[in-house]
DNA sequence: CTATGTGCAAATCTTTTGCAGGCTA
DNA sequence: TAGCCTGCAAAAGATTTGCACATAG
């Protein structure tokens, strides 16, 4: 689960600041650090709480694991991220909030984006009476051939 | 998470016995009990380990929780069931092994089958170089309207 | 100033494991 | 009989919580 994260330069922080502001999330020191790691380079990223926690530590930021969890949840609630569930014992968080499919590499437990536009539904069922579709998760599990 | 399970009459046990035999799974008392609860009435079922454990207890069978986990895993390995992941903190096991879509009711955390044939892919990406698609999980998350 | 956010450690919950004894083929 | 199964209790992880303190607006 080795992931690369954005650096903490000024431009990256600006991007993070705008990202938080866009969703009216109060920019505390910890949130700004984490947001910078997440979107500082403008790329989407898939993280686990543990992975982000370690990245924060590695970059010299002091953030507690509980706060990482709270923060990721807060970002999800604010619509800045999505939680994707592929493994019963670990949550993955995606900075890309569009409803898009994922590859899950069964050997490395890595989660990556499936090439966009390559998946399309020919048909989706009408949501049952009294319900509406909140999201459609598509996870393509890959096995090393 | 209230689920209904099959009764333990003779016909149900026969069905369970055949189910195990088909996959060459050694029919121990515990496995037969659990299998009867799972497929005794010929219907497919989605269970959690905890739910099945409680059902076993309720039906008077004595099976330890660890064994329920082992058994569900064994059934999956034997191709009798599938594990579906929708919630990061709980595994769901489905007696229907076909690759089919599910509804996940966000309010009750219930997992049900989506009407079969109602979901179709227009396009799926070619698996990346050196990999093959092991399975495609489609989970349609529903919100009570 | 006040509502929110944070850290820490402990609690909780699901799932796994080690090992002694049991049971199927 | 031999090897696979099971139960139990304890371990292992991931995530959440309670509460006192800090801080953004």
Torsion of CA B52, B54, B57, B61, to 10 degrees: 0
Q: Please indicate whether, in this complex, the C-beta atoms of B128 and A91 are within 8 angstroms of each other.
A: no
Say whether pLDDT at B54 is over 90.
yes
Question: What DSSP element (H or E) covers A105?
Answer: strand A102-105
User: Residue B56: pLDDT band by 50, 70, 90 thresholds?
Assistant: very high
Strand D: which positions are within 7 A of a protein CB?
4-10, 13-18, 23-25
CB B32 within 8 A of CB B16: yes
The pLDDT > 90 percentage for chain B reads: 52
Cα–Cα nearest to A88, from B41, B50, B131 = B50
Torsion region of A29: left, alpha or beta (phi above 0 gives left; psi -120 to 50 gives alpha): alpha
Say whether pLDDT at A116 is over 80.
no
Whole-angstrom distance, CA of residue B129 vs CA of residue A48 = 26
Say whether pLDDT at A7 is over 60.
no
A66 touches strand D (CB under 7 A): yes
* pLDDT tens digits, one per residue of B57-101: 998 888 999 999 999 999 999 999 999 999 888 899 999 988 888
User: Residue A94: pLDDT band by 50, 70, 90 thresholds?
Assistant: very high
The pLDDT > 70 percentage for chain B reads: 89
Question: What DSSP element (H or E) covers B57?
Answer: helix B49-58
pLDDT, residue B2, reads: 42
Cα–Cα nearest to A113, from A71, A142, A144, A72 = A142
Other Cβ atoms closer than 10 A to B91? 21
* pLDDT tens digits, one per residue of A33-62: 999 999 999 888 999 999 999 999 999 888
Beta bridge partners of residue B82, listed in sequence order: B94
pLDDT, residue A119, reads: 65
- Per the model's pLDDT, the better-predicted residue between A31 and B100 turns out to be A31
Paired tokens of B20: 């195990």
Cα–Cα nearest to B111, from B68, B89, B142 = B142
Average pLDDT of the residues in A64-79? 95
Helix ranges, chain A (H): 10-22, 29-39, 49-58, 65-77
Q: Please indicate whether, in this complex, the C-beta atoms of A142 and B128 are within 8 angstroms of each other.
A: yes
CB A24 within 8 A of CB A36: no
Whole-angstrom distance, CA of residue B79 vs CA of residue B61 = 24
pLDDT, residue A100, reads: 87
Strand C: which positions are within 7 A of a protein CB?
4-10, 13-18, 23-25
Which residues in window 19-78 of B are less than 7 A from strand C by Cβ? Answer: 26-29, 48-50, 65-66, 69-70, 73
Q: Which domains does chain A have, with CATH numbers?
A: 2-142 (1.10.10.10)
B87 touches strand C (CB under 7 A): no
User: Residue B125: pLDDT band by 50, 70, 90 thresholds?
Assistant: confident
Say whether pLDDT at B105 is over 80.
yes
Whole-angstrom distance, CA of residue B115 vs CA of residue B126 = 26
């Amino acid at each position: 689960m080795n992931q690369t994260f954005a650096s903490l330069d000024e431009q990256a922080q600006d991007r993070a600041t705008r990202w938080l502001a866009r969703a009216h999330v109060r920019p505390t020191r910890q949130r700004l650090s984490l947001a910078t790691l997440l979107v500082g380079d403008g790329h989407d990223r898939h993280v686990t709480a543990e992975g982000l926690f370690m990245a924060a530590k590695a970059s010299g930021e002091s953030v507690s694991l509980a706060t990482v969890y709270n923060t990721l949840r807060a970002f999800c609630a604010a619509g800045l991220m999505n939680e994707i569930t592929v493994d019963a014992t670990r949550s993955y968080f995606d900075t890309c909030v569009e409803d898009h499919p994922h590859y899950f590499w069964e050997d490395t437990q890595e989660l990556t984006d499936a090439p966009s536009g390559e998946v399309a539904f020919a048909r989706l069922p009408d949501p049952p009476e009294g319900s509406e579709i909140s999201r459609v998760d598509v996870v393509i599990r890959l096995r090393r051939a």
